[in-house]
Amino acid sequence: MKKITINPVTRIEGHAKISVFVDDRNRVENVFFQATEFRGYEKILLGLPMEEVPRIVSTICGICRGIHFVAALKAVDRVFNAEVSEAAEKIREMLIYSHFIEDHTITLFALGLPDYISPKERDVFGVVKKLGTTAKDIIRKRSYALKIMEILGGKSLHPVAAIPGGWSKRLSEEERERIERYSKELVELGEILVSIVEKEAEKMDKLELNLNFLATSKKGEYNLYDGERVVIDPDGKIVEKFSGEDYEEFIGEKSVEWSYSKLPYLKKLGWKGLQEDKSFYVTGPLARLNVSKIPTSLAREKAERLFEFGKPCKNVIFNHWARAIEVLLCAEKLEELAGDKTVTGSVRGEVKKIGGEGVGVVEAPRGLLIHHYKTDGRGVVKWVNLIVATTQNTPAINIALKKAARKISKGRFSEKTLEAFERVVRAFDPCMSCATHSVSGKIPIEVEIWREGKLIRKVRN
């Protein structure tokens, strides 16, 4: 048996590699997606005052900063038994929607779509060349999402507006009007992205996984900020429903010797090994559209074509398509909230006695995000558990890579498998900082082929 190592994969927050095991006839036996770096934020946060945690955890990732910020802030509310004001909750939702728009746009434009729009170059420059003036419109309109994040969070990168039970700065009427004006541009951005992805969808791989889908839903409707966690099976039947505070009763985490990343699974169905089993689930854009009713008219209309391929749609490569629809959906919701003048109301909530424990759950661009903290009587952090979307998707990524490897060239490993692995990984959009790590938009992948303990060949893209 030979071991082929693809290292590094720079599409998660940190570093990873893919190890492929092939037999003597070059047929794929197994594939492992491995996190190779220990990060340690769960230890870094110990000893900090809980009210400072949102600002600290926003630095976990330069991409996902606003989502970690809001998840931690929701946990802060619970630690301090704080009642959040109506205006503050709406501002938090607006921050999430604007964050989703700018995040999804760069993921599609610079990382996902180059594989299909410019397959020869496979980089953002090829996309710009192909789209021409449309590319300029996309870049310009995306900037409005960043401007909204700066208005709401105090900074466009790492927000600083956290206080228990509210928000540190009230939204002025002039700022509300600006956000409403910007959101109209973002609706147009969503429509542009959906039209582009629809045209490219026929070029995308077909990679269906027989796994569950997990997402947040509020009274059956799509929601990123609040609601209950809903798990549906591949046929669309509800398997589980649970609150954020009860996640430990439903989600288990399995440690494996070959990765620093734990592998989450549904406790009810049990751990049965890393295989295409219904104890695993997919979270993220496609899961959210599969689980919940779409509340906005334009996004609902655009999703109809996606669901011509089935609902639930099981082709995980169509995460790209769902991502574009979410840009439009989030822009519509942002426009709706900005048009509500109550968003300029009081942002201070009542803070009560410190309870000592808090769970904050929101949807991140890549899927469900869980922040869990325990503190002492002074609100100083004593214990932390963070379950990010990429961690929850790791089993599905492993299963998808194995399925893709066996599908290509009738299960025989070749250099074409490199490109297939890239497309699979990009579809899940693991938590990454590629906007700063890779100007070209390419994943630097190196494959080492070993036979009987000897390196016989090395290939790098």
User: 242 burial class (0-12, 13-18, 19+ CB within 10 angstroms)?
Assistant: middle
pLDDT recorded at residue 304: 96
The SS3 of residue 214 is: strand
- CA gap 360, 227 in Å, rounded: 12
Q: pLDDT higher for 258 or 421?
A: 421
Q: pLDDT higher for 448 or 279?
A: 279
- CA gap 218, 230 in Å, rounded: 9
Structural domains of the chain, ranges and CATH numbers in brackets: 1-37+398-461 (no CATH), 83-207+315-350 (1.10.645.10), 212-314 (no CATH)
pLDDT recorded at residue 408: 67
> Is the predicted pLDDT of residue 445 greater than 80, yes or no?
no
Nearest C-alpha neighbor of 189 from the set 152, 157, 145:
145
Indicate the range of 135-144, 227-236, 413-422 predicted with least confidence.
413-422
Confidence of residue 156 (pLDDT cuts 50, 70, 90): confident
Confidence of residue 242 (pLDDT cuts 50, 70, 90): very high
Give pLDDT tens digits for 362-420.
Answer: 999 999 999 999 999 999 999 999 888 988 998 999 899 888 877 765 666 666 677 78
pLDDT recorded at residue 260: 66
Give pLDDT tens digits for 88-117.
Answer: 999 999 999 999 999 999 999 988 888 899
Give pLDDT tens digits for 304-356.
Answer: 999 999 999 999 999 999 999 999 999 999 999 999 999 999 999 888 889 89
> Is the predicted pLDDT of residue 83 greater than 50, yes or no?
yes
Instruction: Put residue 453 in one of left, alpha, beta given phi > 0 → left and psi -120 to 50 → alpha.
Output: left
Phi, psi of 355 (to 5 degrees): -90, -25
> Is the predicted pLDDT of residue 452 greater than 90, yes or no?
no
pLDDT recorded at residue 18: 73
Confidence of residue 8 (pLDDT cuts 50, 70, 90): low
